[in-house]
């Protein structure tokens, strides 16, 4: 090719050469099933396994515990129990996803939830405030805590590990000072108690569930059709349908089981329906997931976690993103604190302590959120939280002591973090940095 013209044509043969033409771009947008499968396999080989290990783990654990304790583990009563036990951990974990996406950590989220729970309890009992005022104040406290931590990390530049370790101790002190002398404060507000102890009426449960899955399925398919129409790369219809169908089946099955009568004695009290906390968590998860996936703010969180310098050069206000993530994390901790207070119907000096934070970090990491930043989704917190709750619940039913439960959960967390670290090494090896 003796290309001696002064202006090489735009379709320069140099550039094309050995590589296949660009795909996923303009015309040949339709990809066959087999190719999708191969892409998925190669992504997994490259270390990006998504939620697969956690989903598999959840299935295996459920089968094992069901076989070991068929009458107890898989009962409707225990299923409802699982959701109520897992609610606090999952809520904190959803907040931690934001902080972990930045490559930071918030060790104080557990006791932050305790502080907010204390604020709620004190306002409800001592000040006699209505429930919505107490809830608003608890959440505002959480947001304020997040703002403080965020400022210290993003503006002063103290490593988040140190800031939140300090806050961990300080908040424990706050809870002790507020509640300590009285032993505990019991919650009497029927609204607060209902969150974790009452159920959605079965019919309403069905309506909510069907509306939710229908919206999800229609939204997904509309998106697929729109991409098709614009000639963009789309999955084959079969693959695109797989996820909505799976989500629909699982959701409706859960609602069905939870709508069964699970009271020991129906004549005293009927116990049916989805616990009220479940739709609340689903709503929170939907909103947060939407923020991460569909807004510029969410994109910027990933950018800051992936390469903060690149984000800065692209004109993103990195400090503001960092602060916002800490605010979101502590805000969710506050909501978790309300859930915890509702479940215990009281707030004690140890609120937000014990294993809550580690379970929450474990939930996010087990679900597939990276501790190195830049990788993670809200659904990770839900799936990982389910794994943690199932281990805790199932081993309890099998009669293991708290010591063994901690040991196993700790080991699972370390294994998940190990998978994360190895998959990161793998993705470095398979290309790029």
Partner 1 sequence: MTQTVERAARKAPTGPAILEVRNGGKSFGAVHVLRGVAFEARAGDVTALVGDNGAGKSTLIKCIAGIYPFDSGELFLEGERVHITDPAHANSLGIEVVYQDLALCDNMDVVHNLFLGRELRKHGFLDEAAMERQTGEVLAALSVRSVKSIRQHVSSLSGGQRQTVAIARAVLWNSKVVILDEPTAALGVAQTEQVLNLVRRLADKGLAVVLISHNMNEVFEVADSIAVLYLGQMAGQIRAADSNRGEVVELITTGTRGNGGSILNGRADVGSATVSDGGSKA
Site of interaction with partner 1 (CB under 8 A): 1-8, 10-12, 14-17, 19-26, 46, 48, 226-227, 230-233, 294-296, 299-300, 302-303, 305-307, 309-311, 313-316, 374-375, 427-428, 430-433
CB closer to partner 1 out of 39 and 249:
39
Beta carbon of residue 50, minimum distance to partner 1 (angstroms, whole number) = 13
Looking at beta carbons only, is 345 or 427 nearer to partner 1? Answer: 427
- Which of 170, 176, 165, 256 has its CA nearest to residue 210? 256
For the record, the structure tokens of 375 come out as: 């990788």
Minimum distance from residue 415 beta carbon to partner 1 (Å):
23
- Crossing angle of helices 76-101 and 356-367, in 10° steps, is 80
Neighbours of 28 (CB within 10 A): 12
Closest approach of Cβ 315 to partner 1, in Å? 4
Instruction: List Cα–Cα distances, 141 to 66, 120, 163, 295, 339, in angstroms.
Output: 41, 10, 18, 26, 15
CB of 43 to partner 1, least distance (A): 9
Whether 213 contacts 248, CB under 8 Å: yes
* Nearest distance, CB of residue 279 and partner 1, angstroms: 24
Minimum CB separation from partner 1 for residue 106, in Å? 20
Residue whose tokens read 């079969």: 238
* Angle between helix 109-125 and helix 356-367 axes, rounded to 10 deg: 130
- Of the two residues 268 and 296, which places its CB atom closer to partner 1 in the complex? 296
CB nearer to partner 1: give 119 or 371: 371
192 with 338: CB under 8 angstroms? yes
**Cβ–Cβ < 8 Å for 350, 172:** no
How many whole angstroms from its chain centre is CA 349? 27
Is 1 or 238 the residue whose CB approaches partner 1 more closely? 1
Report the residue number, 17 or 157, with the smaller CB distance to partner 1. 17
Structure tokens at 288: 């947060």
Phi-psi region of 367 (alpha: psi -120 to 50; beta: other; left: phi over 0): alpha
Shorter beta-carbon distance to partner 1: residue 267 or 313: 313
Q: Give the nearest distance from C-beta 242 to partner 1 in angstroms.
A: 18
């Amino acid at each position: 090719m003796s290309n001696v013209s002064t202006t090489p044509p735009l379709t320069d043969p140099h550039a094309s050469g050995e590589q296949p033409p660009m795909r996923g771009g303009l015309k040949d947008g339709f990809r066959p099933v087999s190719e999708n499968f191969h892409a998925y396999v190669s992504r997994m080989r490259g270390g990006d396994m998504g939620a697969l290990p956690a989903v598999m783990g959840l299935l295996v654990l459920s089968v094992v515990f069901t076989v070991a304790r068929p009458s107890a583990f898989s009962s409707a009563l225990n299923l409802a129990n699982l959701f109520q036990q897992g609610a606090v951990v999952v809520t904190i974990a959803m907040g931690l996803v934001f902080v972990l996406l930045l490559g930071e950590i918030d060790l104080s989220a557990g006791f932050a939830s305790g502080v907010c729970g204390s604020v709620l309890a004190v306002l409800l009992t001592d000040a006699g405030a209505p429930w919505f005022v107490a809830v608003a104040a608890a959440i505002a406290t959480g947001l304020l805590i997040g703002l403080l931590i965020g400022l210290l990390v993003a503006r002063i530049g103290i490593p988040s590990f140190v800031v939140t370790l300090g806050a961990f101790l300080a908040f424990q002190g706050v809870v002790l000072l507020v509640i300590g002398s009285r032993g505990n404060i019991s919650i009497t507000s029927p609204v607060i108690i209902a969150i974790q102890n009452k159920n959605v009426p079965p019919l309403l449960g069905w309506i909510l569930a069907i509306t939710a899955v229908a919206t999800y399925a229609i939204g997904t398919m509309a998106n697929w059709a729109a991409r098709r129409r614009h000639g963009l790369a789309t999955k084959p219809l079969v693959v695109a349908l797989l996820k909505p169908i799976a989500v629909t089946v699982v959701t409706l099955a859960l609602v069905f089981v939870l709508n069964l009568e699970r009271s020991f004695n129906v004549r005293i009290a009927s116990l049916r329906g989805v616990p009220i906390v479940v739709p609340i968590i689903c709503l929170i998860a939907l909103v947060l997931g939407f923020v991460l996936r569909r807004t510029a703010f969410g994109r910027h969180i990933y950018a800051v976690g992936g390469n903060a310098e690149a984000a800065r050069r692209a004109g993103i206000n990195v400090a503001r993103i960092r602060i916002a993530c800490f605010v979101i994390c502590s805000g969710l901790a506050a909501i978790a604190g309300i859930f915890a207070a509702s479940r215990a119907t009281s707030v004690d000096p140890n609120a937000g302590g014990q294993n809550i934070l580690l379970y929450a970090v474990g939930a996010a990491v087990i679900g597939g959120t990276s501790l190195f930043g830049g990788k993670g989704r809200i659904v990770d917190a839900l799936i990982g939280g389910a794994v943690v709750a199932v281990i805790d619940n199932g081993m309890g039913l099998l009669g293991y002591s708290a010591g063994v439960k901690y040991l196993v959960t700790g080991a699972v967390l370390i294994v998940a973090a190990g998978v994360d670290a190895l998959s990161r090494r793998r993705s470095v090896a398979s290309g790029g940095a």
